[in-house]
Amino acid sequence: MKKLSLFLLLCAGLDASAQTYVAGLEKRVMIMEAPPFPECHASTITELPKKGFIAAWFGGTDEGHKDVGIWTSVNENGKWGAPKEVANGIMNDTLRYPCWNPVLFRTKAGKLFLFYKVGPNPREWWGMVMESANCGKSWSKPQRLPNGMLGPIKNKPVQLKNGDILYPTSTESVKGNNWHIHLERSDKNARHWAHIPIQNDTFQVIQPSILEYPNDSLQLLCRSKHNYVVQTWSADNGATWGPLSNTTLPNPNSGTDAVTLKNGLQVIVYNPLGKGRQWWEGRAKLAVAVSKDGLQWQPVFSLENEERGEYSYPAIIQDTEGRVHITYTADRKNIRHVILRIEESTTNEPLKPQGT
């Protein structure tokens, strides 16, 4: 435990004496008992009525293979059901593309959306969406998003007070493999889309997540090629954005996700390895950190602490009971589901990050 605590604190660049929160593990399971495909990746989760949940991911032979489709599983009475494929990239009898990066989102009015991408690769894919009126038991016919719109690229949207939905998204250019983030906005029914640019001439970033603050302030946290999670801030509910900058959180070119809890605490799930690591070397460890202001981050839980393997692409939400749910890729073979309770520490002792 001492080694693990020191590792997390050094990776996050934080002072142990500043720790004020603790995380308790409530549940840790694999979603599938016997995965019906060789590989899976890029999970997403959202809460359903009556204490239920639904998760989705892409699965098939391997990432980018034509047989990769979107799969879901519904959690009822605390147990995950058998996975089923709900979308694929079949265009006609002779043409099929892989599917990518599903994102589940349930609006304040109860509409359940499943966004995902279809295409030969992340530089040429396009956005798709389906709706479910029965908590994911069946889905509407897939619809392509309006031209130029990709939908949420990896992480969940947020719904603003006026009902509009704000989608964190990004592009990877065909020429030069340049990475750029932007936002998209729709009404409460995922109609009438608009593109919100973010000026950036310095950072290579994709896959942002959105954090919410008082007075219409928002923060984006992004995967980057610069050894750190990169951020940008908005003071007008996402209409305009300030310059990008590094956070103190390391990032080995791997996806993260973050959520704002009901009490205003910010929580991020990330791979706590940075400089000198390629993405395929930096995904064997996965951690949770918290922050009150989005600037100073405190590690509170170690989800994985292996020497090898891939534990990556997390998704995080908070349920109506206040528990934090995290799903992530478990070595490309399964999807792990973890439930935590994150609370303020009742002692003045320095926090020791908990976990496996």
What is the tally of structural domains in the chain? 1
Q: Can you tell me the distance from the alpha carbon of 323 to that of 264, in angstroms, rounded to the nearest whole number?
A: 14
Q: Can you tell me the distance from the alpha carbon of 203 to that of 224, in angstroms, rounded to the nearest whole number?
A: 7
What would the pLDDT profile of 228-269 be if each residue is shown by its tens digit? Answer: 999 999 999 999 999 999 999 999 999 999 999 999 999 999
Q: Can you tell me the distance from the alpha carbon of 236 to that of 221, in angstroms, rounded to the nearest whole number?
A: 17
What would the pLDDT profile of 281-334 be if each residue is shown by its tens digit? Answer: 789 999 999 999 999 999 999 999 999 999 999 999 999 999 999 999 999 999
DSSP state of 140: P
Residues of the chain with pLDDT under 70: 1-19, 275-280, 347-356
Residue 50: what pLDDT?
Answer: 86
Residue 27's CB is within 10 A of a number of other CB atoms, namely 11
Q: Can you tell me the distance from the alpha carbon of 281 to that of 128, in angstroms, rounded to the nearest whole number?
A: 32
CA dihedral defined by 109, 132, 181, 118, rounded to 10 degrees? -170
**CA distance to 95, 151, 228, 331, per residue, from 102 (Å):** 21, 10, 25, 18
| Residue 130 bridge partners (DSSP) | 114
CATH number at residue 310: 2.120.10.10
Domain that residue 294 falls in = 2-355
| Cβ atoms 119, 105 nearer than 8 A | no
Max CA pair span of the chain: 65
Token pair 């990776």 is found at 11
Residue 177: what pLDDT?
Answer: 77
pTM: 0.93
Token pair 């896959």 is found at 207
Q: Can you tell me the distance from the alpha carbon of 323 to that of 338, in angstroms, rounded to the nearest whole number?
A: 10
Residue 175: what pLDDT?
Answer: 78
